[in-house]
């Protein structure tokens, strides 16, 4: 049956051998005392919580789902979820990377990143309950009033209260300029909100004492479109002056969505019936404030698929080494048994190595981004802070879209390894496929991420951010170009870097004549750039493994095999993607819509 082992060795490789986080953190005053031993100890304990507390609730939580009492509007999560959350809070995990000024532990984001990967592997549906709280914390920390910070941040930090993000409405998803939820000013300086929101993850539950909803709404005199959106904080229970909880605010769960996956998480239709709220930031500037939370959520969603990719791989690999079916094409490998284990078959290995390469490449990217965020927030060097911020902005849509596309591919492959058993609920694999599918949709569909990458992050600044990132790749290629052992990694990396430069220029020129060309090429373009980022990271990991393979540690041997597989079997996908991106928008738009 299903199992999960936290990938601590690979995390330590990325943290300490690839990225040298201890040295990087020592340059940041707030993290100067964080050493490798501290990092490893925290991750070991976090992995134990994920594997021993959360993982056993994953399949049962999926089978049971959530229950809504339509009379009281209260939602009960699956059995064991509330007790697990209590352990999570008592262990201090919500406060891991929060500011000590609000009761946080002040540890770096890279630790939080690794903790959340393990929790997502263990139980994505459960992890979504605390998952948005940190984003709400960051949003209020950046844009909240002193009173809002005092009221909400300590409780979000401790995990006593959780947070949500209320954007989508029945008639508008990504197009938030169309939202209709109304906000009316009240004599006490607050506001009254009326409207409906849908698809609100963890929108109602009994796991925490209060739920802090961040809600987008429109003031009566607001400009049309996205320029007329304001952001409000709406607590489930009113908070009294002394910090204690008062009466229920009229923000209720009207229904639970019946979903393909993540059954253990309460995805709610939320009704606001004159709910009392306070304004966050300036009137009509709510979307900019909410983007603090949205960008954090996009990185978090990429992390969800990373977690699922890892746990699906672990289970499929174990199954393939145990399940016997048929003989190897080149002759029996275990003649004493009636058949060979299926791991002898080349295509089974291809599916397993695809999942492994996407898991380990995704982990390297996710931790790299987390370290950049730590430096962006804490460096004394203004130029470094800006450079890190630019790189995070460039790579955020790749983390969200590339990792979630890869997660869908990987979980599907891993289910295939199981054959018919993969389709059966009790084995756990079909749940990973179902759970992973939402990650490509919410927090901005992957097409939206692709448009953001090509249209805004690349063409929007004439390629400045991409060129700066490309220089990192070019410098690595130049430094390693004379090492014969690295040629199998350096040559394809350099070649793809040149092709991305040419493709970007070509698409930019086309876009001047017809903006739809961006829409026609964006999805293919993001996947090409995603592979460029992965190829850079895999080449760097191969360099470390080559230097240490003489140690006799099989970890480095496996890392090299996986790197070679990635470059031989996955990276070549970029050739067809570049060709389809160059095919332009005409094949998509030429047919009259009446013919569809």
Q: Kindly list the catalytic residues.
A: 443
Q: Give the strand pairing for 210-217 and 74-76.
A: unpaired
DSSP for 381-444, please give it: -HHHHHHHHHHHHHHHHHHHHHHHHHHHHHHHHHHHHTGGGGGSGGGSHHHHHHHHHGGGTSSS
What distance in Å separates the CA atoms of residue 382 and residue 376, rounded to the nearest whole number? 9
List, in sequence order, every beta strand (DSSP E) within 142-224.
161-166, 182-185, 191-201, 210-217
SS3 category, 269 = strand
| Segment holding 511, helix H or strand E | helix 487-513
**Rounded (10°) CA dihedral 72, 77, 80, 83:** -60
What distance in Å separates the CA atoms of residue 569 and residue 573, rounded to the nearest whole number? 8
CA-based nearest residue to 302, from 398, 403, 390: 403
> Measuring CA to CA, how many Å separate 511 from each of 9, 579, 594?
45, 17, 26
- For the chain, first and last CA: distance in Å? 45
What distance in Å separates the CA atoms of residue 530 and residue 398, rounded to the nearest whole number? 6
């Amino acid at each position: 049956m299903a199992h999960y082992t936290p990938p601590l060795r690979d995390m330590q490789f990325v943290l300490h051998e690839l990225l040298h986080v201890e040295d990087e953190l020592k340059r940041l005053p707030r993290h100067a005392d964080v050493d490798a031993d501290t990092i490893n100890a925290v991750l070991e304990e976090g992995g134990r919580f994920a594997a021993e507390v959360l993982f056993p609730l994953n399949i049962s939580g999926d089978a049971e789902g959530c229950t809504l009492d339509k009379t009281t509007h209260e939602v009960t999560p699956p059995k064991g979820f509330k007790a697990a959350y209590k352990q999570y809070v008592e262990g201090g995990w919500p406060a891991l990377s929060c500011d000590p000024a609000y009761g946080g532990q002040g540890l770096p984001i890279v630790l939080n990143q690794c903790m959340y990967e393990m929790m997502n592997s263990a139980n994505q549906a459960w992890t979504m309950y605390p998952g948005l709280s940190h984003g709400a914390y960051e949003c209020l920390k950046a844009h909240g009033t002193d009173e809002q910070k005092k009221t909400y941040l300590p409780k979000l930090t401790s995990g006593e209260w959780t947070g949500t993000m209320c954007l989508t409405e029945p008639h508008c998803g990504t197009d938030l300029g169309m939202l209709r939820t109304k906000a009316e000013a009240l004599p006490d300086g607050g506001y009254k909100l009326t409207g409906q929101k849908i698809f609100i993850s963890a929108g109602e539950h009994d796991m925490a004492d209060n739920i802090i909803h961040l809600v987008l709404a429109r003031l009566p005199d607001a400009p049309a479109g996205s320029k007329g959106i304001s952001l409000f904080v709406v607590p489930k229970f009113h908070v009294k002056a002394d910090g204690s909880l008062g009466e229920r605010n009229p923000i209720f769960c009207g229904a639970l969505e019946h979903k393909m996956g993540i059954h253990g998480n309460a995805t709610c239709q939320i009704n606001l019936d004159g709910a009392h709220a306070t304004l966050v930031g300036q009137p009509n500037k709510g979307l900019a404030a909410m983007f603090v939370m949205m960008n954090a959520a996009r990185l978090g969603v990429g992390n969800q698929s990373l977690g699922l990719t890892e746990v699906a791989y672990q289970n499929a690999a174990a199954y393939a080494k145990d399940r016997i079916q048929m003989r190897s094409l080149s002759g029996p490998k275990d003649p004493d048994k009636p058949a060979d284990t299926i791991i002898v078959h080349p295509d089974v290995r291809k599916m397993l190595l695809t999942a492994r390469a996407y898991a380990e490449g995704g982990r390297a990217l996710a931790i790299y981004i987390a370290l950049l965020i730590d430096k962006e927030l804490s460096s004394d060097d203004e130029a470094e802070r800006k450079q890190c911020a630019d790189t995070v902005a460039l790579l955020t849509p790749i983390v969200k879209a590339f990792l979630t596309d890869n997660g869908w591919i990987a979980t599907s492959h891993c289910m295939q390894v199981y054959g018919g058993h993969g389709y059966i609920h009790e084995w756990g694999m079909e749940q990973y496929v179902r759970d992973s599918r939402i990650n490509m949709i919410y927090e901005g569909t992957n097409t939206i991420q692709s448009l953001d990458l090509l249209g805004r992050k690349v063409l929007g600044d004439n390629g400045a951010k991409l060129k700066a990132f490309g220089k990192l790749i070019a410098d690595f290629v130049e430094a390693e170009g004379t090492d014969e052992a690295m040629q199998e990694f350096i040559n394809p990396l350099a070649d793809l870097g040149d092709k991305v430069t040419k493709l970007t220029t070509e698409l930019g020129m086309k876009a001047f004549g017809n903006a739809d060309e961006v829409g026609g090429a964006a999805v293919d373009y993001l996947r090409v750039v995603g592979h460029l980022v992965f190829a850079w990271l895999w080449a760097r990991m191969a360099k470390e493994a080559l230097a240490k393979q003489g140690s006799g540690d099989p970890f480095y041997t496996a890392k090299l095999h996986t790197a070679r597989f990635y470059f031989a079997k996955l990276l070549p996908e970029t050739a067809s993607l570049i060709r389809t991106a160059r095919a332009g928008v005409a094949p998509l738009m030429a047919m009259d819509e009446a013919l569809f």
